[in-house]
Structure 1
Amino acid sequence: MQKTISALIGIGAYLVVQDTGAQRFDWGTLATPFISMARAQDADWQKVDETLGRKPAVTGDVRRYGFPRSDLSVTLDGVAIKPALALGGWVAFKPAHGGTMIMGDLVLLESEINPVMAKMIASGLDITAVHNHLLRASPATFYMHVAGHGDPLKLASVIHDALAESKTPLTVAAPPGPPPAVELDTAQLDQIIGVKGQGNGGVYQFNVPRRDPITEGGMQLSPVGPMGVAIGINFQPTGGGKAAITGDFVLTGEEVNPVIVALRTHGIEVTALHNHMLDEQPRLFFMHFWANDDAIKLAKGLRAALDKTASTKS
């Protein structure tokens, strides 16, 4: 039996042993995740943090950096939008393929889209979507989804320099005081939605995972919340037990219209339907929504829509 042994040197050496009897075992398929993890651990994350001007939220092997548009005063149907409700841009870093992959969703004004995009594409990052999430907001806000792969510090520099073309705050100011209370029956909301929510800047937020694994470029996108592929639901109290709600449903094609019908039947407006990524598996569509009404009533409508999806429920 003749064997050919070849070593590849670059991101790491591995062996490929091939028999002339057409039997092949590629050790690289086993080695790549460990190489990626080692590279990510070797990265100088403190310099990444310094470049981006903030500390990340770390979940598993994902570092997610928030870029809320706290500089904007956006109103919609008389509601002053808190950054955590609909203005929370972010970029997530995850070990992948011998380096780091990034995915992100940046909140921009119309005048900022082309300057930021020009910086991104000049540095080799991919633009995967540009669109609205809301209707009738003043000023109008748009959302640019980006992706890339490489050295984390270089990627961080690209993100910083691109966002410098906008008025996105690049340093994090100390909060003026304790976060505002979420004056809603959050225990009942948890029970209806079926997962535990959490407060963030006066907004009560849910991340509802799908049951099916989601991959992009051959990498599983997990944990799903930090990577932007969980169903996101946000409640902002508007007084008297009412709340403004927005977020996005993560859907396969056959789920789209049943969810539209469920939302509309319960008085929840569908404000956008589009992609966020380019080559994910399974193919996904993201549906954004809006309403301002009794919070419990809206939660029941959202639950009816969730029941049309392959989402998890505790």
Structure 2
Amino acid sequence: MLFSKFALAAALITGLSAPAFAADENWARVGEALGKAGTEMPGGVYRIGLPRTDIKATLDGVELKPGFALGGWVAFEKMGNESMMMGDLVLTSDEVNPVMAKLMSSGIEVTALHNHLLRNQPFTMYMHVFGRGDPVKMATALHQALAESKTPLGSATSGSSQPQAAPATQQRVDLDTAALDQALGRKGKDNGGIYQFGIPRAEPVKDGGMVVPPSMGTAESINFQPAGGGKAAITGDFVLTAKEVTPVLKALRENGIEVTAIHNHMVDDQPRLFFVHFWGVGDAKKLADGLKAALAHVAVAKG
């Protein structure tokens, strides 16, 4: 008898399986275990941002804001008596192996490891993780793994969360955001001075037969960071089926947008998806038009 990926993963995760998380689950317990509070998203997803505010990185003379290109995260979704967890951890080169060792010893899967950018200093890697089981136990395991890095966190000890740094002062996005909205056919949002778009795919995305919501990393992600004088730096990733990859690459390159990585994020996704990361600096409206040309080759949900 063949086991599904989820059944096998549940059997392999030592210490992550536990009695059912109560129907009236308190996601705050998960945030406390990880050492950082999250936000309840549409679809019953609890997402915790893990920006690397400790890293001062630059690329092509642009200082990369944490929410622009260094924004790690983990997200939990209730699945029956358990929860599914996915995440993307931002790590420096010397942090990769210690963090991976801790994750794997706890039964959390590492499903991808790769770059997102080129030429950024310091160089960062991005580690995708997956787990299924009790969310508090998974959050505790994640905290222990991230303790091998300098990722800013509080304490995972119950009742003793350390104070978090005060949130940065909200910055106005110094761009013609209406023009960007018009070009991309969507309404973006201001996230600490970064203008962001999350565009869901038309078809549902599944992993091991379970639906993975856009808030767990399956949306087309586009970020604009103002660079002054109507210019911007852009980065993000397109979430593509196999037949969409080459047309999107051509559209990006024809519009002066650099392709910086092509890879998987999941290992049992349906449909099989490829993630194309990009980078560009220039006139924000022209870059938006280039991204629009690429999106024309992607099956995205209607706005």
Is the Cα contact below 8 Å between 1:44 and 1:153 reproduced in 2? no
User: Could you tell me which of 173, 177, 188 is aligned with 2:165?
Assistant: 173
In the alignment, the residues of structure 2 paired with residue 238 and residue 46 of structure 1 have an alpha-carbon distance, to the nearest angstrom, of 37
Partner deviation per Cα, 1:81-130 (whole Å, 9 max, x = no partner): 00111100000000114201100000000000000000000000000000
1:271 maps onto 2:263 in alignment: no
Taking the TM superposition and a 5 Å limit, the aligned residue runs for 1:303-314 are 303-314=292-303
Residue 236 of structure 1 and its aligned partner are, at CA, apart by 0.1
Could you tell me which residue of structure 1 aligns to residue 95 of structure 2?
112
Pairing of 1:1-314 with structure 2 (within 5 A): 39=21, 41-59=23-41, 60-171=43-154, 172-176=164-168, 178-222=169-213, 224=214, 226-314=215-303
Shift of 1:50: 1.4
Letter in structure 2 aligned against 1:250:
V
Gaps of 5+ in 2: 1-19, 155-163
TM-score (norm 1): 0.85
1:133 and 1:274 map into 2 onto residues whose CA distance is 10
How many angstroms apart in 2 are the aligned matches of 1:167 and 1:157?
A: 16
Q: Give CA deviations for 1:210-240 in whole Å, capped at 9, x if unaligned.
A: 1011111111112x1x110000000000000
Counterparts of 1:46 and 1:182, CA distance in 2: 31
CA distance, structure 2, for counterparts of residue 127 and residue 251 of structure 1 = 21
Bigger shift: residues 252-261 or 40-49: 40-49
CA contact (8 A) 1:195 1:313 kept: no
Count of aligned pairs between the two proteins: 274
Which structure's CA Rg is the greater one? 1
Answer 1 or 2: higher relative contact order, Cα 8 Å, separation at least 6. 2
Using the TM superposition, give the Cα deviation of residue 42 of structure 1 relative to its aligned residue in structure 2, in angstroms.
Answer: 4.1
Q: How far apart are residue 289 of structure 1 and its match?
A: 0.2
Q: Which amino acid aligns with 2:227?
A: T
- 5+ long unaligned stretches in structure 1: 1-37
CA contact (8 A) 1:208 1:230 kept: yes
Q: How far apart in 1 are the matches of 2:94 and 2:25?
A: 35
Residues 256 and 284 (structure 1), Cα distance of their counterparts in 2 relative to 1, 3 Å cut: same
Contact in 1 for aligned 2:203/2:301 (Cα 8 Å):
no
Please tell me whether the aligned partners of residues 194 and 313 of structure 1 are also in contact (alpha carbons under 8 angstroms): no
Q: Helix, strand or coil: the match of 1:43? A: coil
Shift of 1:40: 5.5
Aligned sequence identity (%): 59
Q: Which amino acid aligns with 2:37?
A: K
What's the offset of the Cα at 1:170? Answer: 0.5
